[in-house]
Amino acid sequence: MSYQHRNADASLIELPTGKVVCVGRNYADHAKELNNPVPTEPILFIKPVTSLVPLEEPFDIPAGLGAVHFETELAVLIGETLTQADEQRAQRAIAGIGVGLDLTLREVQDQLKQKGHPWEKSKAFDGACPLSAFLSPATAGDLTDVQIRLSVNGEVRQDGNSARMLTPVLKLLSYISQWFTLQPGDVVLTGTPAGVGPVRPGDELRVELVDLLRVDTRVNNH
Protein backbone atom coordinates (compact mmCIF):
# COMPACT_ATOMS: atom_id res chain seq x y z
CA MET A 1 0.00 0.00 0.00
CA SER A 2 1.45 3.34 -1.01
CA TYR A 3 1.64 6.04 1.63
CA GLN A 4 -0.67 9.08 1.79
CA HIS A 5 -1.31 11.36 4.75
CA ARG A 6 -4.59 10.42 6.42
CA ASN A 7 -6.74 11.58 9.30
CA ALA A 8 -7.47 9.25 12.20
CA ASP A 9 -10.86 8.45 10.60
CA ALA A 10 -8.91 7.19 7.52
CA SER A 11 -9.99 10.10 5.31
CA LEU A 12 -7.30 11.59 3.10
CA ILE A 13 -5.53 14.79 4.13
CA GLU A 14 -5.25 17.19 1.22
CA LEU A 15 -1.52 17.72 1.55
CA PRO A 16 1.32 16.35 -0.59
CA THR A 17 3.67 13.75 0.83
CA GLY A 18 6.96 15.45 1.64
CA LYS A 19 10.24 14.90 3.39
CA VAL A 20 10.67 13.74 6.96
CA VAL A 21 12.97 15.81 9.17
CA CYS A 22 14.22 13.72 12.09
CA VAL A 23 15.80 14.72 15.37
CA GLY A 24 18.54 12.61 16.89
CA ARG A 25 19.12 12.30 20.64
CA ASN A 26 16.26 14.55 21.73
CA TYR A 27 15.87 12.52 24.94
CA ALA A 28 18.92 12.38 27.21
CA ASP A 29 18.14 8.85 28.39
CA HIS A 30 18.18 7.58 24.80
CA ALA A 31 21.49 9.29 24.05
CA LYS A 32 22.97 7.65 27.15
CA GLU A 33 21.68 4.16 26.34
CA LEU A 34 23.62 4.26 23.04
CA ASN A 35 26.69 5.76 24.72
CA ASN A 36 26.27 8.98 22.76
CA PRO A 37 26.98 12.43 24.22
CA VAL A 38 23.91 14.47 25.09
CA PRO A 39 23.75 17.20 22.42
CA THR A 40 23.68 20.90 23.19
CA GLU A 41 21.50 21.63 20.15
CA PRO A 42 19.22 19.46 17.99
CA ILE A 43 20.83 16.90 15.67
CA LEU A 44 18.93 16.88 12.37
CA PHE A 45 18.77 14.43 9.48
CA ILE A 46 16.27 13.77 6.71
CA LYS A 47 14.38 10.74 5.46
CA PRO A 48 13.07 10.98 1.88
CA VAL A 49 9.46 10.52 0.84
CA THR A 50 10.35 6.97 -0.28
CA SER A 51 10.92 6.02 3.36
CA LEU A 52 7.23 6.49 4.21
CA VAL A 53 4.86 3.54 4.58
CA PRO A 54 1.54 3.32 6.47
CA LEU A 55 2.05 2.16 10.04
CA GLU A 56 -1.42 0.61 10.03
CA GLU A 57 -0.33 -1.91 7.38
CA PRO A 58 2.15 -4.78 7.96
CA PHE A 59 5.57 -3.52 6.91
CA ASP A 60 8.85 -4.95 5.69
CA ILE A 61 12.31 -4.57 7.17
CA PRO A 62 15.59 -5.09 5.31
CA ALA A 63 17.08 -8.57 5.39
CA GLY A 64 20.76 -9.40 5.57
CA LEU A 65 21.91 -5.97 6.78
CA GLY A 66 22.10 -6.64 10.49
CA ALA A 67 19.81 -5.58 13.33
CA VAL A 68 16.86 -3.28 12.59
CA HIS A 69 15.94 -1.20 15.64
CA PHE A 70 12.65 0.51 16.38
CA GLU A 71 12.62 4.11 17.58
CA THR A 72 9.11 5.32 18.45
CA GLU A 73 8.48 9.03 17.95
CA LEU A 74 5.83 11.71 18.17
CA ALA A 75 5.26 12.91 14.59
CA VAL A 76 4.18 16.41 13.55
CA LEU A 77 2.52 17.06 10.17
CA ILE A 78 3.28 20.48 8.73
CA GLY A 79 0.44 22.35 7.05
CA GLU A 80 2.04 25.70 6.13
CA THR A 81 5.44 26.82 4.87
CA LEU A 82 7.85 27.56 7.70
CA THR A 83 11.07 29.50 7.09
CA GLN A 84 12.90 31.31 9.91
CA ALA A 85 9.74 30.87 11.97
CA ASP A 86 9.17 31.70 15.63
CA GLU A 87 7.32 29.34 17.96
CA GLN A 88 3.95 31.06 17.52
CA ARG A 89 4.16 30.73 13.75
CA ALA A 90 5.28 27.12 14.13
CA GLN A 91 2.27 26.30 16.29
CA ARG A 92 -0.12 27.68 13.66
CA ALA A 93 1.54 25.52 11.00
CA ILE A 94 0.86 22.19 12.73
CA ALA A 95 -1.72 20.28 10.71
CA GLY A 96 -1.68 17.00 12.62
CA ILE A 97 -0.09 14.89 15.34
CA GLY A 98 0.73 11.21 14.91
CA VAL A 99 3.26 8.55 15.77
CA GLY A 100 6.00 7.03 13.66
CA LEU A 101 8.84 4.54 13.75
CA ASP A 102 12.33 5.71 12.85
CA LEU A 103 13.60 2.30 11.74
CA THR A 104 17.36 2.10 12.00
CA LEU A 105 19.92 -0.37 10.67
CA ARG A 106 21.90 -0.16 13.90
CA GLU A 107 25.02 -2.06 12.85
CA VAL A 108 25.20 -0.12 9.59
CA GLN A 109 24.78 3.13 11.53
CA ASP A 110 27.56 2.19 13.96
CA GLN A 111 29.91 1.47 11.06
CA LEU A 112 29.06 4.76 9.37
CA LYS A 113 29.56 6.72 12.61
CA GLN A 114 32.94 5.10 13.19
CA LYS A 115 34.03 6.28 9.75
CA GLY A 116 32.60 9.77 10.27
CA HIS A 117 30.15 9.21 7.41
CA PRO A 118 26.51 10.37 7.15
CA TRP A 119 23.77 8.11 8.55
CA GLU A 120 21.44 7.98 5.55
CA LYS A 121 22.04 4.37 4.54
CA SER A 122 21.01 3.29 8.02
CA LYS A 123 18.06 5.67 8.40
CA ALA A 124 16.66 6.63 4.98
CA PHE A 125 16.17 3.31 3.19
CA ASP A 126 12.86 2.47 1.51
CA GLY A 127 10.23 1.82 4.18
CA ALA A 128 12.35 3.25 7.01
CA CYS A 129 9.49 5.41 8.34
CA PRO A 130 6.19 3.65 9.10
CA LEU A 131 3.86 6.52 9.95
CA SER A 132 0.38 6.61 11.49
CA ALA A 133 -2.69 8.59 10.57
CA PHE A 134 -2.89 12.04 12.16
CA LEU A 135 -5.01 13.59 14.88
CA SER A 136 -6.00 17.24 14.72
CA PRO A 137 -3.76 19.48 16.88
CA ALA A 138 -6.78 20.38 19.02
CA THR A 139 -7.47 16.70 19.73
CA ALA A 140 -3.82 16.06 20.62
CA GLY A 141 -3.77 18.92 23.13
CA ASP A 142 -0.61 19.76 25.10
CA LEU A 143 2.42 18.59 23.11
CA THR A 144 4.68 18.95 26.16
CA ASP A 145 2.84 16.10 27.90
CA VAL A 146 2.30 13.21 25.48
CA GLN A 147 3.06 9.64 26.57
CA ILE A 148 4.78 7.65 23.80
CA ARG A 149 4.69 3.85 24.13
CA LEU A 150 5.70 0.83 22.10
CA SER A 151 4.92 -2.79 22.92
CA VAL A 152 6.48 -5.70 21.03
CA ASN A 153 4.67 -9.04 21.27
CA GLY A 154 2.77 -7.73 24.29
CA GLU A 155 5.83 -6.46 26.18
CA VAL A 156 6.26 -2.72 26.74
CA ARG A 157 9.64 -1.75 25.31
CA GLN A 158 9.45 2.06 25.16
CA ASP A 159 7.41 4.27 27.49
CA GLY A 160 8.43 7.92 27.60
CA ASN A 161 6.87 11.36 27.74
CA SER A 162 7.42 14.37 25.50
CA ALA A 163 8.03 16.38 28.69
CA ARG A 164 11.48 14.76 28.70
CA MET A 165 12.46 16.17 25.31
CA LEU A 166 15.65 18.22 25.41
CA THR A 167 14.09 20.56 22.84
CA PRO A 168 10.26 20.70 23.00
CA VAL A 169 8.11 20.50 19.88
CA LEU A 170 7.47 24.19 19.10
CA LYS A 171 11.05 25.22 19.79
CA LEU A 172 12.17 22.30 17.63
CA LEU A 173 10.01 23.36 14.66
CA SER A 174 11.33 26.90 14.94
CA TYR A 175 14.92 25.63 15.08
CA ILE A 176 14.48 23.33 12.07
CA SER A 177 13.00 26.18 10.05
CA GLN A 178 16.20 28.18 10.51
CA TRP A 179 18.02 25.50 8.48
CA PHE A 180 15.45 23.82 6.24
CA THR A 181 12.22 25.29 4.94
CA LEU A 182 9.38 23.09 6.14
CA GLN A 183 6.70 22.76 3.49
CA PRO A 184 3.07 21.63 3.61
CA GLY A 185 3.05 17.84 3.79
CA ASP A 186 6.45 17.55 5.47
CA VAL A 187 6.67 15.58 8.71
CA VAL A 188 8.92 16.13 11.71
CA LEU A 189 9.88 13.16 13.89
CA THR A 190 10.72 14.63 17.28
CA GLY A 191 13.09 12.04 18.78
CA THR A 192 12.75 8.77 20.67
CA PRO A 193 12.78 7.95 24.37
CA ALA A 194 14.97 5.20 25.84
CA GLY A 195 14.28 1.52 25.28
CA VAL A 196 15.11 1.11 21.58
CA GLY A 197 15.87 -2.38 20.41
CA PRO A 198 15.58 -4.88 17.57
CA VAL A 199 12.43 -5.71 15.68
CA ARG A 200 12.16 -8.98 13.77
CA PRO A 201 9.96 -10.54 11.08
CA GLY A 202 6.68 -11.69 12.59
CA ASP A 203 6.80 -9.30 15.56
CA GLU A 204 3.47 -7.81 16.64
CA LEU A 205 3.70 -4.13 17.56
CA ARG A 206 1.39 -1.77 19.41
CA VAL A 207 2.42 1.85 18.87
CA GLU A 208 0.70 4.50 21.00
CA LEU A 209 0.31 8.09 21.91
CA VAL A 210 -1.34 7.03 25.16
CA ASP A 211 -5.02 8.01 25.47
CA LEU A 212 -4.83 9.66 22.03
CA LEU A 213 -3.87 7.21 19.29
CA ARG A 214 -3.13 3.48 19.10
CA VAL A 215 -1.97 1.43 16.13
CA ASP A 216 -1.60 -2.34 16.11
CA THR A 217 0.67 -3.55 13.34
CA ARG A 218 3.27 -6.21 12.58
CA VAL A 219 6.49 -6.87 10.72
CA ASN A 220 6.07 -9.01 7.62
CA ASN A 221 7.78 -12.37 7.48
CA HIS A 222 10.39 -12.48 4.71
Comparing 29-43, 112-126, 195-209, the range with the smallest average pLDDT is 29-43
Q: Is the pLDDT of residue 51 over 80?
A: yes
The 8 Å CB, 24+ separation contacts for 126-129 are: 126/50, 126/51, 127/51, 127/53, 127/59, 127/60, 127/61, 127/103, 128/47, 128/51, 128/102, 128/103, 128/104, 129/20, 129/47, 129/51, 129/52, 129/53, 129/100, 129/101, 129/102, 129/103, 129/187, 129/189
Q: What is the pLDDT of residues 68-114, one digit of tens each?
A: 999 999 999 999 999 999 999 999 999 999 999 999 999 999 999 89
**Alpha carbon distance 34, 56 (integer Å):** 28
Res 35: pLDDT: 67
Q: Is the pLDDT of residue 2 over 90?
A: no
**Alpha carbon distance 54, 32 (integer Å):** 30
Query: Got the DSSP string for 143-164?
Result: TTS-EEEEEETTEEEEEEEGGG
* Residue 40 confidence class, pLDDT cut points 50, 70, 90: confident
Whether the CA torsion 110, 112, 113, 114 is positive or negative: it is positive
Question: What is the set of domains in the chain, with CATH numbers?
Answer: 20-218 (3.90.850.10)
